Amino acid sequence: MSDAPTVLIMGPPGAGKGTQAAHLRDHYHLRHVATGDLLRDAVAHDTPLGQTARTYMDAGNLVPDDIIIAMLRELVESLGDEEGVLLDGYPRTVAQAEALDGLLGELERHVNVVLDIRVPAEVLVHRISGRWVCRTCQTPYNVTSHPPKVAGKCDLDGGELFQREDDAESAVRHRLDVYEAQTAPVSDYYLHRDVLATIDGNQPAEAVQAALDAAMHAAV
Ligand code: AMP
């Protein structure tokens, strides 16, 4: 039985997962795995996975479960015994959550805590239209709430900041609908397993971080 924690962070697009995941990764020494980043990387390198995933991603739809679960299997199997992990953007469907339980079970691990960040839809649409991401290290910025020190450049590595195509307003609204229909039921799945921590994401980032830390201390 591994004591290494398995932590999930979930929340709709724009909930602040990227910023908070970076804190959790550093503070709790977790390997941060964001399925969206893995997929964007595959698209950028034009791999077979990237070629398949691209059409779904551009349309703001979920990539089919079998593709995502195969990707996750590889990842979970590569985890060291004592390696804590933070899964970000996975699971997005109940089928993915069930598959994760199976994969973790094979390693005698289980989900320790699910950090579920909640933010009203209108707040999200407003936030996302100001979002810029570093092309090199994926660090997110926001023109109003978290601007880079130098416009258009990443504070950490000077990489170029860009706006994701799926962050356009109509695409955002569609992604929020997809989240509500397919991913919100994942919260209930974990609620029934007593590992769900609901976090109010409609407050300053420091307050969200404090709430996440409290949930982490209670769980791991
Ligand atoms: P994200 O960066 O987490 O917002 O993910 C960007 C896009 O990648 C999503 O809109 C989906 O098309 C795809 N994606 C990421 N994670 C998953 C997942 N677990 N299941 C299905 N599609 C995913």
The set of protein residues with a Cβ atom below 6 angstroms from ligand 1 is: 13, 35-36, 39, 56-57, 60-63, 68, 89-90, 92, 96, 166, 175
Tell me the catalytic residues.
Answer: 17, 92, 131, 164, 175
For the entire predicted model, the pTM comes to 0.86
- What the block records as the tokens of 216 is 């982490």
Cα dihedral value 173, 64, 100, 10, nearest 10: -10
Length reported for the chain: 220
State the DSSP H helix or E strand holding residue 114, giving kind and residue range, or none if neither: strand 113-118
**What pLDDT, on the 0 to 100 scale, is given for residue 220?**
84
Q: State the pLDDT at residue 129.
A: 79
Instruction: DSSP for 45-94, please give it.
Output: TT-HHHHHHHHHHHTTPPPPHHHHHHHHHHHHHT--TT--EEEES---SH
Give me ligand 1 centre to Cα 91, in Å: 9
DSSP string covering 164-202, please?
Answer: -GGGSHHHHHHHHHHIIIIIHHHHHHHHTTT-EEEEE-S
pLDDT score, position 165: 78
Residues of the chain with pLDDT under 50: none
Pocket test for ligand 1, best of 62, 76, 133 (most atoms within 8 A of CB): 62
- Closest atom of ligand 1 relative to the 57 alpha carbon: 12
Q: According to the model, what pLDDT value does residue 1 have?
A: 61
User: Which residue out of 43, 73, 92 has the highest number of ligand 1 atoms within 8 Å of its CB and is therefore the one to mutate?
Assistant: 92
Instruction: Please tell me the distance from the alpha carbon of residue 21 to that of residue 23, in angstroms, as a whole number.
Output: 5
Distance CA 102, CA 190 (A): 14
Report the alpha-carbon distance of residue 165 to residue 171 in Å, rounded: 8
User: Hey, what are 175's tokens?
Assistant: 């992604």
pLDDT at 214: 97
Residue 104: the pLDDT is 94
Q: Is 72 exposed, middle or buried (0-12, 13-18, 19+ CB in 10 A)?
A: buried
pLDDT at 2: 66
Distance 88 CA to ligand 1 centre (A): 10
Give the pLDDT score at 59. 86
Report pLDDT digits (tens) over 58-104.
888 999 999 999 999 999 989 888 899 999 999 999 999 999 999 99
